[in-house]
Amino acid sequence: MQQIERIPPAHIGLRKNWQYYVYDTLLAIVVSLMITGVIYFSHLYPRISDIIMLQLIWIIVLAIWRSRYAAIVASLVAFLSFNYFLLPPLYSLWLDDPAQWVTLLVFLITAVVTSGLAGSARKREEQERENEHELRILYELIRVYNTTDDFDAQLDIIALSTLRVFSALGVRECVILMPDQDGKIQSMADAPIRVDKFVPNAEELRRASTVFATGNRSIMLDETVPHALVHFIPLKSANRILCVLYLRVVNGVPWLEDQEAMQKALVEESSQAEFFWTFIEQICSLVERSLLREKLISSGS
């Protein structure tokens, strides 16, 4: 099972909370004011009439490095600080020369548009890298799966891979639940690797049985662990339910908190959520393939 380590985990991405925006705001304001300060104390303006282009360079760097939001904040600060400290009358936001208004407005529009274009290019590049990363995950999953023909080992690979890939989303446990010959739901594979086989409790068995019978996803609160949820996801083929995927999520990403949030993430085309379900579809096809092969072996013997 060491080959599982070749499968890279999914990227969680940057959570843009209020601290993120505070940092970007302070960075944009402080550096823009520093650039204006250097120009002011060095008396570079009006000796070098195009010295304001230094601000434009910083704004483009900020858009590529941080975000479009930070670049727009820097554009506004550059516009106001240049007006206040460098253009006559000094220390006033009013300008006597209409031509200077035109120059500043052209700079502001150019800075905002340029930062938008640079930010869009950065976003496209990030998306391309993420798509490449996701393709590698799926490729490595199939490659590792194909290293064995043993039914139990294949299910173990699927469970371990799912845990590894989505650990960054908060997944701490993955179990493949299937009915035995008597129709009782039991664990066929579980991750992480443990000494004792995973045994679901009575409520988990009831939920898993209901999900297997109806084909509808279910989420339950795990009261034994703070901020923990258990997802029961049916893995379906074209005409039947193959098994139930049990995922224990602790301190997970917000869109895994309930069914409504998961659906909303798909509607909003969250790349993270879309890849989650793409991966689920992939392991569903692998489970179906393993079950079919096991059935052919059993019928042949």
Higher local confidence (pLDDT), 264 or 132:
132
Extended beta strands in 17-128, E state: none
Check residue 142 and give left, alpha or beta (phi > 0: left; psi -120 to 50: alpha): alpha
d(CA 279, CA 242) in angstroms, rounded, equals 16
d(CA 174, CA 163) in angstroms, rounded, equals 6
Domains of the chain, start order: 18-125 (no CATH), 148-300 (3.30.450.40)
d(CA 232, CA 176) in angstroms, rounded, equals 10
Give pLDDT tens digits for 51-106: 888 998 999 999 888 888 899 999 999 999 998 998 888 888 887 778 888 888 88
Length of the chain: 301
d(CA 287, CA 22) in angstroms, rounded, equals 46
DSSP string, 200-247: --HHHHHHHHHHHHH---EEEE-TTSTTEEEEEEEEE-SSSEEEEEEE
Give pLDDT tens digits for 196-239: 888 889 999 999 999 999 999 999 998 888 889 999 999 998 88
Q: Residues 148-171: what's their mean pLDDT? A: 94
* Cα three-residue angle 192-195-200, rounded to 5 degrees: 65
- Residue 47, class by beta-carbon neighbours within 10 Å (0-12 exposed, 13-18 middle, 19+ buried)? exposed
